[in-house]
Structure 1
Amino acid sequence: MNSIGLFGARIANKFSCVLVFSRKLCEHSCGSDKIDIGFNGIEEQITKEWKKSDFDATAYEKPGFYDHRSSTEGNFRVRRSFLENVKFDAGRILDILQHDGPGFDSKTSLSELGIRVSGALVREVLLRILINIDYAKKTRCAKLGYKFFVWCGQQENFRHTPNSYHLIMKIFADCEEFKAMWRLVDEMIENGFPTTARTFNILICTCGEAGLAKRVVERFIKSKTFNYRPFKHSYNAVLYALLIIKQYKLIEWVYQQMSDEGHHPDILTYNIILCAKYRLGKLDQFHRLLDEMGTNGFSPDIHTYNILLHVLGKGDKPLAALNLLNHMKEVGFDPSILHFTTLMDGLSRAGNLDACKYFFNEMIKRGCMPDVVSYTVMITSYIVAGELENAQALFNEMIHKGQLPNVFTYNSMIRGFCMAGRFEEACSMLKEMESRGCNPNFLVYNTLVSNLRNAGKLSEAHEVIRHMVDQGKYVHLLSKVKRYKRC
């Protein structure tokens, strides 16, 4: 083990356990071309904590009287009336914009409506344009959105916010008007608004087509107008944003730039880098990063431990994982249900059902009561192992204990019934989840339909598809894919 050096034997002892584990997990490689859905939860936990902070606060409207959360009936009626008026006025505005063309002065027509422009109205109109972009007429959609945006900015006693800038930028991005989008960024800065992580996200999502990813990152790293509150510096804000959009190679590059510029990482930086290294299959670099953390005076936090537990689980190292859980307890971190579930998920993916059962029971012994996620991980483990009866028993237990199954729980059960050739029960499970108010997603439908087809039950498969179409979910899913596929 590398010497920690500056912090002496006490810190070295504290880190020795974690460093030994990291070297053990480095013996197992993770193919960078394989998407590990189970690791998404770890990344979400890292980003979720920072979303609670004052992150990108300028991207939102300051609350007006219509946003005030009062329980009085009078204020509720006022708020509801205001929002209904906003929707009504937005419809009138969109009707006028639809008629825009040669010989029709839309700006004059908008002014003649006598509508008072508010942040809520601008947001409503731009969101409707964004959601209903006609890709066959995308240039016109961008033009109408911007015409409305400019008209609003010319109204007395109204000033655009970063949120409205971001909405029109997103419209330009979806309509592939990239030059216009960049001009809006410059206009934002000229008007005294700092660019934020939301600005960065919109721009970076367009870089697949434009090939500007590194240039976008460089601009934001060096920009004095980049609002990176509550982060230590703009590098962390960029790293955080890149983690959300899963740009792992760029995360490595930014980290190198950060080091070259002499900026010191903190625990958030290290957790993001560990996530990126895992995703890129570079587990051999874990121990170096953990050494570096110790040298710089940082101890692992709950997210660091979560990452290590998942990788140890997926590497089928239950004993090392148990030692790490005990080490956490020794240094003042009580392992939570999150840590146990993360570990079990990794072990499940490694096919170690016995270890999953052990840690499920160990979790309960330590006072962590299973939630829907941990139950789902165990149920999935039983399904993968072909133990459908045990999965059913646990499924019934979770309902009895007040934990309602979610869409992933139902998907695992449906897959289990299909694997066992019990298709009637699989179809009944679909009906049951709908009756409980749990809406099936595309994954559930795909699981059922593909298994029915593979079994030669084409009429049953077509019946499920007809049901999906009747529920309006097929169209909804297609439109959703169409809107977000570029990001």
Structure 2
Amino acid sequence: MLAFIYSRFEMVHDALFVLVKMKEQNLRPSIQTYNSLLYNLRHTDIMWDVYNDIKDSGTPQSARTSSIIVDGLCGQSRFRDAVLFLRQNDGKEFAPSVVSFNTIMSRYCKLGLADIAKSFFCMMLKYGILPDTYSYNILIHGLIVAGSMEEALELTNDMEKQGLQPDMVTYKIVAKGFHLLGLMSGAREIIQKMLTDEGLKPDLVTYTILICGHCQMGNIEEALRLRRDLLSSGFQLNVILYSVLLSSLCKRGQVDEALQLLYEMEANNLQPDLVTYSILIHGLCKQGKVQQAIQLYKEMCFNRIFPNSFAHSGILKGLCEKGMLSDARMYFDSLIMSNLKPGVTLYNIMIDGYVKLGDVEEAVRIYKRLRDKAITPSIVTFNSLIYGFCKNRKVVEARRLLDSIKVHGLEPSAVTYTTLMNAYCEEGNINKLHELLLEMNLKDIEPTVVTYTVVIKGLCKQRKLEESVQLLEDMRAKGLAPDQITYNTIIQCFCKAKDMRKAFELLDDMLIHNLEPTPATYNVLIDGLCRYGDVEDADRVLVSLQDRNINLTKVAYTTMIKAHCVKGDAQRAVKVFHQMVEKGFEVSIRDYSAVINRLCKRCLINEAKYYFCIMLSDGVSPDQEIFEMMLNAFHRAGHVHSVFELLAVMIKFGLLHD
């Protein structure tokens, strides 16, 4: 008893000392005492000394003895020794048990060797040992992790044929497998089977697997429905599960719904943690609801949950994106003055904020403060500064900054080079652009789609249109798929070159490669036809797109209206104008002004008056510019009566008092 108790309390050396004393008294320890000691020593070589002592003493061994030895050998990654031990004990009274086989199968499955585990499953049957539910669960889990879902399901069916009913663990494993494969419908079927066929009640873990799976697949509605089922079944959700739901809602922009879940947590006496608050703060900031985010930040601090850099970065980024840079600066300065040590991320946010505002000098000052604090800048820091210099047309300084990146132990990224290349492209310095592209290749930095688009834009500026088309093929050869912006860039250049045939060939090429043209693509083509081709062709394209229910922007319609006004076809312009209104586009005073101006220039007085009347009937108040435009046109045309009518309208709108 003393040796056994020592062993149970892991006082191994004391237990061994007692065993020595027992030997001196010719007392034989029980196998339970030996097994307890073996279990505590199973991860050491002393295990063999104890096992040899068992054999020497003649103490009858039990099935648990061999199971402990096998477990110990597997724990020491001595799988061959474990298998050899099983074979040596085959046919003895303490022959390997199902537990020993389960141990080996479990170890091989954890190593991702489900096929080897399956061979031991077959060996078990060969020895006449019937697998238990645990055996099946081990192998089913191993097969699912290895991606053999179909085989795992077959094993589940075989389990039932052998008279073993799948338990809660089995169903959890299969449900998780469906989740890993993104087959959430299969997971739902498993839950339904648990409820109907087996009469099992899914537990919190099963529901958690399903809810997390639906959230990952973007099916937040189904995840919320499961949450309601969970609550109605009497379960209490934990903070982690709420955080998963909150994160999914925030990613979809449903921040108000996420806040409702926060209130539900608090109502259920669940204290939100740092992760929960951080998710909501970021979500609110992305929606531009910075004040609400700050309020939540204060609540977080009140609950003695102190925010980390992730939460701070959310608020800081939100303030910058909303244009509240002075507030962002005050918040940033307060963080620096506090005990918190801001990391490079917070400095990057401020640098990026000033760069986007155009204040590159202040961005540089923030960068110098970062250096003074002995904080290592990241490649994001340099990318922002290079973008700022390029935006301010200080390309020489940007290039100098690129050369200094290596000093900080960093390597420029594709974004770094692309930003600088775009600046050279804008300057028309194509040679420098090609130099940077060559430098990228020498450094094994793979150009991105954006990089190639910049190069194509540079080639187009030099009117090297055929080379730009060839670059599309080069992109595909390197496994990069040109996007809509790439195509739009080339299409626009062919339109300017008055080669509309090639422009439409490129449109066909987009469709051949399953790339859906954007409204901007059609805008470019319609504008090209109106400017450099035939307006009638543009009309036919517009009608064709309308017949195919392709979504067009307001730009396409205004382009057509202007083109018809320039041609003097006021009737067709009016028709397109009505189509634009029917599509639900909001017509502003600027739109009316542009059309009236063109009609007046073409001396189409009646048509100009018609548009003016439509503008008034739509409740759009004309401004001084429109009145003066029309007065001049009526005066030139000698429409004296129309002049006085217009003057009366001006008085009515308070634009004329004398």
Provide TM-score, normalisation by structure 2: 0.46
Asked whether the 8 Å contact 1:248–1:276 carries over to 2, the reply is: no
Deviation for aligned residue 1:397 = 3.5
- Report the count of equivalent residues: 371
| 1:162 corresponds to 2:251 | no
Deviation for aligned residue 1:297 = 0.9
| 1:200 corresponds to 2:248 | no
Partner of 1:70: 146
Asked whether the 8 Å contact 1:336–1:368 carries over to 2, the reply is: yes
Asked whether the 8 Å contact 2:247–2:279 carries over to 1, the reply is: no
Q: How far apart, CA to CA, are the structure 2 residues paired with 1:416 and 1:180? A: 51
Partner of 1:140: none
| 1:359 corresponds to 2:359 | no
Deviation for aligned residue 1:378 = 0.9
Asked whether the 8 Å contact 1:433–1:440 carries over to 2, the reply is: yes
The one of 442, 449, 455 equivalent to 1:378 is: 455
The one of 231, 234, 240 equivalent to 1:153 is: 231
Deviation for aligned residue 1:127 = 9.9
Asked whether the 8 Å contact 1:380–1:412 carries over to 2, the reply is: yes
Deviation for aligned residue 1:385 = 5.6
Partner of 1:84: 185
The one of 307, 330, 344 equivalent to 2:384 is: 307
Partner of 1:20: none
Instruction: Call closer, same or farther: CA 1:129–1:410 in 2, change over 3 Å.
Output: closer
Deviation for aligned residue 1:296 = 0.7
Q: How does 1:30-179 map to 2 (within 5 A)?
A: 69-74=145-150, 79-80=177-178, 83-86=184-187, 118-119=207-208, 121-122=210-211, 149-156=227-234, 159=237, 161-163=241-243, 165-166=245-246, 174=254
Deviation for aligned residue 1:156 = 4.6
The one of 529, 541, 556 equivalent to 1:460 is: 541
Instruction: Call closer, same or farther: CA 1:127–1:73 in 2, change over 3 Å.
Output: closer
Asked whether the 8 Å contact 2:215–2:248 carries over to 1, the reply is: yes
| 1:183 corresponds to 2:260 | no
Instruction: Call closer, same or farther: CA 1:332–1:66 in 2, change over 3 Å.
Output: same
Instruction: Call closer, same or farther: CA 1:173–1:433 in 2, change over 3 Å.
Output: closer
Amino acid at match of 1:183: Y
Q: How far apart, CA to CA, are the structure 2 residues paired with 1:308 and 1:225? A: 34
Deviation for aligned residue 1:303 = 1.7
Identity of aligned residues (%): 19
Asked whether the 8 Å contact 2:351–2:367 carries over to 1, the reply is: no
What's the CA shift string for 1:52-111, capped at 9, x where partnerless?
A: xxxxxxxxxxxxx799653224367654496224567999xxxxxxxxxxxxxxxxxxxx
SS at match of 1:297: coil
Deviation for aligned residue 1:171 = 11
SS at match of 2:361: helix
Asked whether the 8 Å contact 1:86–1:124 carries over to 2, the reply is: no
| 1:409 corresponds to 2:489 | no
Q: How far apart, CA to CA, are the structure 1 residues paired with 2:490 and 2:521? A: 10
Q: How far apart, CA to CA, are the structure 2 residues paired with 1:299 and 1:145? A: 42
Amino acid at match of 1:434: L
Deviation for aligned residue 1:275 = 0.6
Instruction: Call closer, same or farther: CA 1:155–1:440 in 2, change over 3 Å.
Output: farther
Q: How far apart, CA to CA, are the structure 2 residues paired with 1:448 and 1:145? A: 44
| 1:332 corresponds to 2:413 | no
Q: How far apart, CA to CA, are the structure 1 residues paired with 2:390 and 2:356? A: 15
Provide TM-score, normalisation by structure 1: 0.60
Q: How far apart, CA to CA, are the structure 2 residues paired with 1:147 and 1:398? A: 45
Q: How far apart, CA to CA, are the structure 1 residues paired with 2:390 and 2:329? A: 25
The one of 263, 269, 275 equivalent to 2:340 is: 263
What's the CA shift string for 1:5-48, capped at 9, x where partnerless?
A: xxxxxxxxxxxxxxxxxxxxxxxxxxxxxxxxxxxxxxxxxxxx
SS at match of 1:118: helix
What's the CA shift string for 1:177-197, capped at 9, x where partnerless?
A: 798466246448735554243
The one of 295, 298, 311 equivalent to 1:215 is: 295
Deviation for aligned residue 1:316 = 3.3
Amino acid at match of 1:190: L
Q: How far apart, CA to CA, are the structure 2 residues paired with 1:364 and 1:171? A: 37
Partner of 2:116: none
Amino acid at match of 1:199: L
Instruction: Call closer, same or farther: CA 1:291–1:405 in 2, change over 3 Å.
Output: same
Asked whether the 8 Å contact 1:376–1:408 carries over to 2, the reply is: yes
Gapped regions of structure 1 (runs ≥ 5): 1-64, 92-111, 133-143, 471-487
Instruction: Call closer, same or farther: CA 1:190–1:310 in 2, change over 3 Å.
Output: same
Asked whether the 8 Å contact 1:204–1:216 carries over to 2, the reply is: no
Bigger Cα Rg: 2
Deviation for aligned residue 1:357 = 3.0
Asked whether the 8 Å contact 1:239–1:269 carries over to 2, the reply is: yes
Instruction: Call closer, same or farther: CA 1:193–1:300 in 2, change over 3 Å.
Output: closer
